[in-house]
Structure 1
Amino acid sequence: MTDHEIRLFETDAAVVHVGDGLIACTLPRPEWTHEAHLAACLHIVRDRTDLRPETDLPGIIRRYNESVGGVNDDHQGYHETITQAFIAAARAHLAERPSGERLVDSVNALLVSPRGARDWPLHHYSRDLLFSVTARRGFVPPDLKPLP
């Protein structure tokens, strides 16, 4: 359960704006929300066949974080395990959605689903493991239950 109001997207173009803005490092920092993370991830997994999400998204996010003045270190910025978990969530979600569904509908369905919750990775990982330096720096397998 989330204690934040879920911010849904209104159009396919709004989702593409976030995904392409992330890739180009032009997305304004205030727009880089939890929902934007998931929208960009789903858009990249579904529509950006020129990218390999599991290997390309880490560098894209690190570069974006630095472009807006962020730091990627042991305590802030890019988190490898969370990124890989949400890529797995996006892939599982897309496998369950109708073929040809509008991007915005698929993204919004993910955002309101259990997999879209901010704390979703904690259904698979203990807090100590997920927020360890090891999990931030590299992918670690879940210790509670497998990812989808």
Structure 2
Amino acid sequence: MSTGALSDAEFLAAVEATTYPGEKFGHRGHLRLGWLCLREHAFEAGLERIRTLVRNYATALGAAGKFHETMTRAWAEHMQAALDETPGISSFDAFLAAHPELLDSRILACHYRKETLESPAAKAGWVPPDLEPLPRRRPASR
């Protein structure tokens, strides 16, 4: 089952119910989840929804320790900036076609030194970039 085999609602429901196969929930699945949450909510509420879903999903798969706060927020910042650039895109595949750079799972290496991103502080809480700033998102207007 790929993330594209399910409708957006089915995919989100499967992640919420922790029934989506863990071996299929890779980088693209994380992006799709972020896209769905950030489209539905203002940035802070969308980020909190992502956090909750990823933590619950990881816990259900026996991998609660894998959650990484800085990576989660940094990716959400990238996603929100892309959403702000192309607000009218209504499908995830079209969104990725407009922003193929998001498919590069190594993109955070442009913003963080390896030792910073791998630090316990970055895993447990938000650590701002120490190389290049993250893309700017529009201020909340909702």
TM-score (norm 1): 0.77
Which residue number corresponds to residue 59 of structure 1? Answer: 52
Which residue number corresponds to residue 34 of structure 2? Answer: 41
Tell me how many residue pairs correspond in the alignment: 133
Structure 2: distance between partners of 1:94 and 1:137: 26
User: Any runs of at least 4 consecutive aligned residues in structure 1 with deviations exceeding 4 A, and if so which?
Assistant: 8-12
Structure 2: stretches of 5+ with no match in the other structure: 136-142
Structure 1: stretches of 5+ with no match in the other structure: 1-7
Contact 1:19–1:44 (CA under 8 A) maintained in structure 2: no
Structure 2: distance between partners of 1:56 and 1:40: 10
The Cα RMSD (Å) is 2.4
Structure 2: distance between partners of 1:9 and 1:29: 11
Q: Which residue of the other structure, out of 76, 80, 84, is the alignment partner of 1:91?
A: 80
What is the deviation of 1:10?
A: 4.5
- One-letter amino acid of the structure 2 residue matched with residue 122 of structure 1: A
Contact 1:18–1:27 (CA under 8 A) maintained in structure 2: yes
Higher helix share: 2
**DSSP 3-state at the match of 1:139:** coil
Contact 1:80–1:139 (CA under 8 A) maintained in structure 2: yes
- One-letter amino acid of the structure 1 residue matched with residue 96 of structure 2: N
Contact 2:69–2:122 (CA under 8 A) maintained in structure 1: yes
Which residue number corresponds to residue 28 of structure 1? Answer: 21
Contact 1:43–1:103 (CA under 8 A) maintained in structure 2: no
TM-score (norm 2): 0.80
- One-letter amino acid of the structure 2 residue matched with residue 85 of structure 1: A
For residues 4-49 of structure 1, what are the alpha-carbon distances to aligned partners after superposition, in whole Å with 9 as ceiling and x for unaligned?
Answer: xxxx965771x44333322222211122111100111111111357
Contact 1:129–1:135 (CA under 8 A) maintained in structure 2: yes
What is the deviation of 1:114?
A: 1.9
Change over 3 Å in CA distance of 1:65–1:10 after alignment to 2: closer
Change over 3 Å in CA distance of 1:69–1:118 after alignment to 2: same
1:108 counterpart = 2:101: no
Aligned residues: percent identity? Answer: 26
Q: Larger RCO: Structure 1 or Structure 2 (Cα < 8 Å, ≥ 6 residues apart)?
A: 1
**DSSP 3-state at the match of 1:65:** helix
